[in-house]
Structure 1
Amino acid sequence: MREALKVLAVGMIALSTGACSLVVGVVGLEEEEPQTTGSLPSNAGRVLSPDLNDEDWRRAKAALGVALDPQGPGTRVSWDNPASSMKGSFTPTGAPFVKDDQICRTFASALSGPATASLQGTACRPSGGEWVIKDVKPTKAQAKA
């Protein structure tokens, strides 16, 4: 009986000591490494056009999310910002696909206002995250003009 109590006591000490060092290690990691939130910088819309301001991009990003939603109807979604006279739309051009553990979708985008552009690109999002434009270029018709 006494032997069993000694083994139990040693096991309890080992477990409690291990737990303490684990907590200290986690706290140390949090202080040294910043946590990633998955949010985009406010100037991320500049990939569509350097003429988009922060509010234009906020509105465009919301439309992009609705348009590319794999559970949605896959139709064109428009946005506008009366304050800057910018407006645009996103239209999915292909079915959703998985790449690097992210849901991706190709799209066409039209911008008008002080800047006009017709674009095509690909956006992806991690599970539960926001859409991130991975590549964008002028449509072939605009590139020739």
Structure 2
Amino acid sequence: MHRRRQDVTRRHGRQEVADHPDYRARERRREGAFARIAARLATGFAALALGACAIAIPLSPFGASEPLTTGSIGPVSPLDPALDVEDWRRARSAMAVALDPQGNGATASWENPDSGRRGKFEAASRAYARGDRVCRDFRAVLGRAGEAQERVVAGAACRVSESLWRIESVDGGAAPGGG
């Protein structure tokens, strides 16, 4: 049928536009240009998608200064390796209260009823500057409920954020785990 139509159009002295060689060449160029544009767009989208995979987004809140601890083993307290995670959390809060340069200098106590451990902190000096941080010497008393024996620890701590102090030294030596 296609051939018959060509014959009919040629008989009348006309050639169909679609059969004209110039028209077919122009269509091929147009199809080729479209294919090149589509290929470039696909390459661009693929590069964009793969580039997004290289972006690292922190999972901690912005400005978090306390290092994250992962796993089932808690951080070791620089004061006493026998303190567990909850003991150290409570002790660290009491230390922040006792060492606060704006505070009244009173002793701050802590106790963990689950482990039976307890203790207290008191500032042993006025606040002083060490580099760009505020530091203060302290004295800590650590013990266990029901036991008369208490351990006295002296050291120095520096403030790293509004309510977080890092122990820099204990009994004149470097603190093993900070804090």
TM above 0.5, yes or no, is yes
Q: Which has the higher helix share?
A: 1
Q: Name the SS for the 1:111 alignment partner.
A: strand
Letter in structure 2 aligned against 1:88:
G
Cα deviation for residue 116 of structure 1 reads 3.7
Is 1:57 matched with 2:82? no
- Match of residue 134 from structure 1: 168
In 2, Cα distance between equivalents of 1:48 and 1:30: 39
Instruction: Provide, for residues 31-59 of structure 1, a one-character-per-residue CA deviation record: whole Å limited to 9, x for no partner.
Output: 29897721144515x21111100100110
Structure number with larger C-alpha Rg: 2
In 1, Cα distance between equivalents of 2:113 and 2:161: 33
Unaligned runs of 5+ in 2: 1-51, 173-179
The normalised TM-score by structure 1 is 0.66
Letter in structure 2 aligned against 1:111:
L
Following superposition of structure 1 onto structure 2, how do residues 103-122 of structure 1 map, counting pairs within 5 Å? 103-113=134-144, 116-122=150-156
Of the candidates 31, 35, 38, which is equivalent to residue 56 of structure 2?
A: 31
In 2, Cα distance between equivalents of 1:103 and 1:119: 20
Is 1:95 matched with 2:129? no
Contact 2:65–2:161 under 8 Å retained in 1: no
Percent of residue pairs bearing the same amino acid type: 35
The normalised TM-score by structure 2 is 0.54
Residues 37 and 76 from structure 1, CA distance in 2 versus in 1: closer, same or farther, beyond 3 angstroms? same
Cα deviation for residue 125 of structure 1 reads 1.1
In 2, Cα distance between equivalents of 1:73 and 1:136: 24
Unaligned runs of 5+ in 1: 1-26, 139-145
Q: CA RMSD in A?
A: 2.8
Contact 1:103–1:127 under 8 Å retained in 2: no
- Match of residue 42 from structure 2: none
- Count residues with an aligned counterpart: 111
Of the candidates 43, 49, 66, which is equivalent to residue 75 of structure 2?
A: 43
Of the candidates 155, 159, 173, which is equivalent to residue 125 of structure 1?
A: 159
